[in-house]
Amino acid sequence: MCGIVGIVNVSEAADRGVLERMNGAIRHRGPDDDGYYVRESAGLAMRRLSIIDLAHGKQPIHNADSTKWIVFNGEIYNYRELREDLERGGHRFYTNSDTEAIIHLYDEYGDGCLAYLRGMFAFYRPRPRR
């Protein structure tokens, strides 16, 4: 099973070194790969146990214009059907992973995307600061 870690620090930039140490502590959760996203005060990292899209499913995964990013743990059983529907609507994918289907669904439906997902999963989307 994969593992996810993250930092949100409201007073200063996220420290990638701390994120790397956190991610290293859960290496046993996903020995196949790791990935990082650090921007301003937020940082995400994950350890991957490759099951779907072994070659191209590296996370974090972004949407088409790289304005949204996701780290994801679980499996979306109906991602192929969701992907086909999204592609018919003009979405273009760069992986074959179930994770990318989620970020495109989010672009299309916002928080309502959860109603379309069938599977077992957990992911986190921080709210913008006010």
Tokens of 125: 């989307």
Catalytic residues: 2
> How far lies 52's CA from each of 12, 49, 85, in Å?
36, 9, 19
What span, in angstroms and rounded, lies between the C-alpha atoms of 56 and 39?
Answer: 23
Contact (CB, 8 A) for 80 and 72 = no
